[in-house]
């Protein structure tokens, strides 16, 4: 019956959101409860942070470069190429740095978490862990959440820096602009709310990436096909959520600081 | 053939007169389908309960219920005198320290070596490294796999993985062992090795156990043989005798259709039992 189907579908989604909220809440709260798995935290931080460094640097550099290229050609129509650095640094620090870094880390790590935990679910390793007296949330989820939040914060700063340098490279070497003018405008235009916005976003996005990746991993059903499904869903949902939450944070910051 | 026992026998329960596991009118279903209905059973100290049943009859679900890995929709489950059906997860982690579980496919952690798999529980309990090494070696010697310490599960055969899973389950000398199809998917020779290990645990350490299987030959081997410590091998019980501590349960369509001794099982007039055993 169609009404039953709609009802059961709605219930399914409500239960999923509830389960996600419980997992995310417990993952955060576990930091205050023993035992702590610092070894796993370091391993995850290494895997997520250091492992993602090459793609973050490459993405940041070329994003800054293409931003300078596009801005300069548009600004040239108004004779305002001097503010290329301003445009690049503002765009990178407020928006593109946090969002693109998060999307790259999401593609690499949300999928990795979902597939790793999903494989453990379908091979009963998670049940075995519980049977051996270990809380999988403390051992597997909490280290991933904190490691992602912590490392994404610094990856975003690196991405912002490299993006600004990429913009400088294009502006100076390819477009023949003045280097000190580029860096001067890039630095002078930044205000506290811009920096704050750029640093708050990766904290929230890191939380989204890790909790969504772990949630889909821990709720995997249906063998290898289920693992594939979870992996895809984790990347899609975390990416969409990142862009949606980016809009909310930007709106909130504009309302609070006025620009 | 298995080697001589190295670990000391342990008590099976705090109160020898009390059952180790009690299911009372337990029911559970998934996505609208009833898997187990009104199941009541007990496992006594030192007893081995063999749970038979066709595939999909809810055997593994029953085992997970006993370990508190899933919770029933109704009814009560008591293990070592404590209710596990409504016990908070944190307390269950403590209780599971007395329960060993062997999963259907072994469920070894594939990113850890054999040594770390077997030592997992001990390392979680922060037991000193020297003692961990000693107990892991003992457990692996029990299953004759001492030489595989540094191998990863993917480097082992199916039978070896199952034996490592048994070593992991017994390393902290549990009072109750739950075996989920320990011989499933194995060749007859390897199955016999696994059955011998289960029998050794039963006869040497007197550990209570609940064993799920759909292989009748393994179940009857457990009922008709005993582990001879002198010969270090299993031998048939003389004069066609049966092990008095080994009893059977039979599940069919979510219902417990038989609960009794080996003798009662083979002499039952129930048409389903006759067909199942034939």
Are residues A135 and B93, on separate chains, in Cβ contact within 8 Å? yes
Q: Is the pLDDT of residue A157 over 70?
A: yes
Q: What is the pLDDT of residue A31?
A: 87
At B180, which CATH number?
3.40.50.300
Which helix H or strand E contains A46, and what residues bound it? Answer: none
Cβ B183 vs Cβ B191: under 8 Å: yes
Give the sign of the dihedral formed by CA A56, CA A62, CA A65, CA A66. Answer: negative
Spell out which residues of chain A touch residue B110, defining contact as CB-CB under 8 Å: 123, 125
Summarize pLDDT for A48-107 with one digit per residue, the tens. 999 999 999 999 999 999 999 998 888 888 888 888 888 999 999 999 999 999 999 999
pLDDT above 90: percentage of residues in chain B:
44
Spell out which residues of chain A touch residue B166, defining contact as CB-CB under 8 Å: none
Predicted complex ipTM: 0.85
For all residues of chain B together, what is the average pLDDT? 87
Q: Is residue B271 part of a domain?
A: yes
What is the domain extent for residue B150? 21-277
DSSP character for A190? -
Interface test with B, best of A33, A35, A37, A128 (most B CBs within 10 A): A128
Spell out which residues of chain A touch residue B67, defining contact as CB-CB under 8 Å: 131
Q: Is the pLDDT of residue B184 over 70?
A: yes
B71: phi > 0 → left, psi -120 to 50 → alpha, else beta; which?
beta
- Give long-range contacts, CB 8 A cutoff, 24+ apart: A55-59: A55/A104, A55/A108, A56/A101, A56/A104, A56/A105, A56/A155, A56/A158, A56/A159, A56/A162, A57/A158, A57/A159, A57/A162, A59/A100, A59/A101, A59/A104, A59/A159
Are residues B103 and A35, on separate chains, in Cβ contact within 8 Å? no
- State the average pLDDT over residues B216-240: 88
Are residues A124 and B96, on separate chains, in Cβ contact within 8 Å? no
Spell out which residues of chain A touch residue B60, defining contact as CB-CB under 8 Å: none
Summarize pLDDT for B1-31 with one digit per residue, the tens. 344 334 433 434 456 678 899 999 999 998 8
Cα(B39)–Cα(B254) distance, integer angstroms = 8
Q: Is residue B85 part of a domain?
A: yes
Spell out which residues of chain A touch residue B107, defining contact as CB-CB under 8 Å: 123-125, 127-128
Summarize pLDDT for A60-69 with one digit per residue, the tens. 999 999 999 9
Q: Is the pLDDT of residue B242 over 90?
A: no
User: φ and ψ at B150, to 5 degrees?
Assistant: -95, 10
Which helix H or strand E contains A221, and what residues bound it? Answer: none
Q: Is residue B12 part of a domain?
A: no
Are residues A134 and B124, on separate chains, in Cβ contact within 8 Å? yes
Q: What is the pLDDT of residue B9?
A: 36
Summarize pLDDT for A212-229 with one digit per residue, the tens. 999 999 999 988 899 999
Summarize pLDDT for B102-127 with one digit per residue, the tens. 998 889 999 999 999 999 999 988 89
Work out how many domains chain B is built from and give that number.
1
Interface test with B, best of A131, A221, A227 (most B CBs within 10 A): A131
């Amino acid at each position: 019956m169609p009404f039953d189907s709609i009802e059961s579908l709605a219930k399914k989604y409500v239960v999923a959101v509830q389960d996600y909220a419980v997992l995310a809440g417990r993952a955060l709260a576990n930091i205050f409860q023993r035992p702590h798995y610092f070894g796993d935290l370091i391993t995850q931080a290494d895997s997520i942070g250091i492992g993602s460094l090459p793609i973050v640097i490459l993405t940041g550099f070329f994003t800054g470069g293409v931003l300078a290229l596009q801005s300069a050609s548009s600004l040239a129509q108004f004779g305002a190429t001097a503010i290329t650095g301003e445009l690049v640094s503002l765009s990178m620090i407020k928006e593109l740095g946090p969002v693109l870094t998060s999307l790259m880390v999401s593609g690499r790590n949300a999928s990795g978490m979902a597939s790793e935990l999903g494989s453990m679910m379908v091979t009963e390793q998670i049940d075995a862990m519980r049977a051996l007296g270990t809380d999988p949330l403390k051992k597997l989820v909490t280290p991933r959440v904190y490691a992602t939040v912590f490392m994404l914060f610094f990856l975003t700063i690196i991405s912002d820096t490299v993006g600004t340098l990429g913009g400088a490279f294009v502006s100076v070497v390819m477009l023949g602009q003045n280097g000190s003018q580029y860096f001067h405008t890039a630095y002078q235009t930044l205000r506290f709310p811009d920096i704050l916005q750029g640093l708050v976003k990766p904290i929230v996005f890191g939380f989204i990436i890790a909790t969504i990746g772990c949630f889909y991993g821990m709720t995997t059903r249906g063998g290898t096909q289920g693992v594939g499904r979870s992996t895809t869903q984790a990347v899609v949902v975390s990416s969409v959520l990142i862009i949606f939450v980016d809009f909310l944070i930007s709106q909130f910051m504009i309302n609070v600081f006025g620009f | 053939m298995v080697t001589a026992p190295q670990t000391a026998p342990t008590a099976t329960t705090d109160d020898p007169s009390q059952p180790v596991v009690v299911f009372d009118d337990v029911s559970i279903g998934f996505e609208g389908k009833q898997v187990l209905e009104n199941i009541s059973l007990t496992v006594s100290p030192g007893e081995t309960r063999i749970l038979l049943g066709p595939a999909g009859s809810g055997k593994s679900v029953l085992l997970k219920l006993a370990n508190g890995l899933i919770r029933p929709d109704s009814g009560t489950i008591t293990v070592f005198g404590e209710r596990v059906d409504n016990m908070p997860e944190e307390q269950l982690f403590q209780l599971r320290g007395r329960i060993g579980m062997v999963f259907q496919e072994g469920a070894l952690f594939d990113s850890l070596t054999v040594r770390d798999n077997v030592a997992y529980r001990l390392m979680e309990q922060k037991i000193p490294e020297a003692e961990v090494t000693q107990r892991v070696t003992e457990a692996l010697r029990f299953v004759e796999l001492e030489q595989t310490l540094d191998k990863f599960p993917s480097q082992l055969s199916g039978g070896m993985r199952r034996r490592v899973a048994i070593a992991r389950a017994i390393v902290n000398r549990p009072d109750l062992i739950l075996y989920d199809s320990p011989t499933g998917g194995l060749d007859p020779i390897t199955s016999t090795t696994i059955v011998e290990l289960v029998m050794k645990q039963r006869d040497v350490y007197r550990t209570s156990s609940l064993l799920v299987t759909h292989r009748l030959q393994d179940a009857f081997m457990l009922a008709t043989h005993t582990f001879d410590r002198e010969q270090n091998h299993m031998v048939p019980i003389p004069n066609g005798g049966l092990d008095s501590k080994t009893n059977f349960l039979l599940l069919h369509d979510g219902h417990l259709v038989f609960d009794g001794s080996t003798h009662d099982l083979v002499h039952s007039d129930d048409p389903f039992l006759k067909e199942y055993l034939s």
